[in-house]
Amino acid sequence: METLTAYSGFLWSGTCMTLLLTAGGSLLALTMAFAAGVGRLSPIRPVKWVAVAYIEFFRGTSCLVQMFWMFYALPYFGLSLSPLTAGILALGLNIGAYGAEVVRGAILAVPRDQREAGIALNFSRAQRLLHIELPQAIPIMLPPFGNLAVDLMKLSSVASLITIADLTFRAQLIRNSTGETLWPFLAILVIYFIIASGILAIVSVAERRLRPGREGIDRMQGGQ
Amino acid sequence: MSWSWDFTWQIMPMLLSGLVVTVQATVPGSLLAFSLGLLIAIARFTGGPLLRIPVTVLVEFIRRTPLLVQLYVLFYVLPDYGIALSALTAGVIGLGLHYSTYAAEVYRAGLESVPRSQWEAAKALNYPAPSTFTRVVLPQAIPPMIPALSNYVISMFKETPLLSAITVIELMNAAKILANESYRYIEPMTMVGLLFLAVSFPASLAAVKLEGWARRRAQ
């Protein structure tokens, strides 16, 4: 327990690194999810193929394999990435592929007549997507996105294996230097649990605010 | 440095033996996850609050923390308390424990997808409760569980590289060892990715087929 208080600053820096990986990875994942999710539904064949190839490739192998590949194999193709870049890139691209399926599913879940109404009103394809389909699809995406964000946060521990000094990496360092095993690992498990619960709490607030239908409209008008 | 096919062929036997270890971790890991998951689901379904609350807290704790750290706990912390597990055993238990919390969720959703009216109809027909469960509810509950459970087996398979962190020489670790010995990283690392794709892509296609089969059988 004494070691725990002595190392609290050390673990705090680790927490910041974990949060940085999670935030950076989530931002990239969100971008990729929308790009590939919408791309997969595109009527333009090559766009669709690129999206499908990206999704299947990144879902077919694990994040650790992708991270190692980016960190160890890419330099031989003349592209040297810093550990942090490789970490964020692998986390974002991996979870983004799962997110793309969420985006696609949510857009398809918007009732058909909404799209037909858009066509009847002479909306262009882009206008329909931006003003009719996505606003209704986003509330559907939120709960699975929350789970994916937690998955990404959990996966960020893998970045410790490519020498990023996140929580897991620092717990290992404490274990190596003090011989203590239980406290460092228990401490970081609790920190991970708190971060995950925080992410889920934020998502459920967002979910309540964006709930479609009368209730959501009332809230928006009440807020103005 | 360019790609060398000679080197690729040279490392294949060791990579394939790594793949065997990967499968040796995935299969018992899945069986453990499915059975533990069933216990969790039963505890939550039938147990009183004294059982349900601690189980729920534990399940949420396992679900919201990284598998890698859980593996470290099993491999590095337990020996201090007199439980020394081999690396592969610790890996299998870690995978099984982590995924059992997801499997439990699948069982729950599957059982809840069967309308209550099915139970009521069986009761009205004076059908005994155990056969209602095995012959009316389960045949309807199992098909929707299959795609989810098979997806978790595939994700578990893809997560096994984490076991390299606790010294298990599975596919990823075999590749790392080969790379460190030869200073050639492209071939081993790329082959690992391709081998994973070669197993997981057909497996996910098979899972889709399996679901269709179960759905047809249930009708």
pLDDT in tens, B161-215: 999 999 999 999 999 999 989 888 888 988 998 999 899 888 888 888 887 887 7
DSSP string, chain B: ----HHHHHHHHHHHHHHHHHHHHHHHHHHHHHHHHHHHHHHHHHH--HHHHHHHHHHHHHHHTS-HHHHHHIIIIIGGGGT----HHHHHHHHHHHHHHHHHHHHHHHHHHTS-HHHHHHHHHTT--HHHIIIIIIHHHHHHHHHHHHHHHHHHHHHHGGGGGGGT---HHHHHHHHHHHHT--HHHHHHHHHHHHHHHHHHHHHHHHHHHHHHHHH-
**Domain ranges across chain A:** 2-223
Task: State residue A221's pLDDT score.
Answer: 58
Task: State residue A200's pLDDT score.
Answer: 95
**Cβ contact B161–A197 (<8 Å):** no
Q: Which of B56, B214, B64 is nearest to B148 (CA)?
A: B214
- CATH architecture for residues A2-223: Orthogonal Bundle (1.10)
Q: Is B167 left (phi over 0), alpha (psi -120 to 50) or beta?
A: left
The backbone torsions φ and ψ at residue B79, rounded to the nearest 5 degrees and listed phi first, read -60, -30
Fill in the DSSP letter of residue A213: S
Q: Residue A224 — very low, low, confident or very high, per pLDDT cuts 50/70/90?
A: very low
For residue A215, pLDDT over 70 is answered with: no
Distance CA(A206)–CA(A203), nearest Å, equals 5
Q: What is the CATH number of the domain that holds B112?
A: 1.10.3720.10
**Cβ contact B172–A65 (<8 Å):** yes
Task: State residue B219's pLDDT score.
Answer: 64
Please name the residues in contact with B108: beta carbons below 8 A apart, sequence gap of 6 or more. B41, B44, B45
Out of A87-96, A109-118, B29-38, B128-137, least confident range: B128-137
Q: Is A149 left (phi over 0), alpha (psi -120 to 50) or beta?
A: alpha
End-to-end CA distance of chain A: 51
pLDDT in tens, A3-61: 667 788 899 999 999 999 999 999 999 999 999 999 999 999 999 999 999 998 898 88
Q: Is residue B8 part of a domain?
A: no
**Opening angle at CA B143, ends B139 and B148, nearest 5:** 140
Q: For chain A, give the mean pLDDT.
A: 90
Task: State residue A122's pLDDT score.
Answer: 92
Compute the nearest-CA separation of B161 from chain A (Å). Answer: 7
Q: Which of B40, B37, B44 is nearest to B145 (CA)?
A: B37
Contact residues, chain B to chain A, C-beta under 8 Å: 1, 61, 64-70, 72-73, 76-77, 80, 158-162, 164-165, 172, 176, 179, 185-186, 189-190, 192-193, 196-197, 200-201, 204
3-state secondary structure of A43: coil
Range of the domain at B52: 16-218
Residues of chain B with pLDDT under 70: 1, 218-219
CB atoms within 10 A of CB A216: 14
pLDDT > 70 in chain A, percent: 92
3-state secondary structure of A185: helix
pLDDT in tens, A171-209: 999 999 988 889 999 999 999 999 999 999 999 999 888
Q: Is residue B4 part of a domain?
A: no
What's the ipTM? Answer: 0.87
pTM: 0.88
Work out how many domains chain B is built from and give that number.
1
Task: State residue A223's pLDDT score.
Answer: 47
Task: State residue A74's pLDDT score.
Answer: 87
Alpha helices in A110-166 (DSSP H): 112-120, 125-127, 134-155
Distance CA(B89)–CA(B108), nearest Å, equals 28
Q: Is residue B5 part of a domain?
A: no
Q: Residue A2 — very low, low, confident or very high, per pLDDT cuts 50/70/90?
A: low
Query: In chain A, what residues touch B196 (CB-CB under 8 Å)?
Result: 60-62, 65
Span A69-80, average pLDDT: 86
pLDDT > 90 in chain B, percent: 50
Among B67, B73, B185, the residue with its CB nearest the CB of A154 is B67
Task: State residue B148's pLDDT score.
Answer: 86
DSSP string, A63-118: HHHHHHIIIIIGGGGT----HHHHHHHHHHHHHHHHHHHHHHHHHHHS-HHHHHHH
Task: State residue B207's pLDDT score.
Answer: 82
| Chain A interface disruption, residue of B68, B70, B196, most A CBs within 10 A | B68
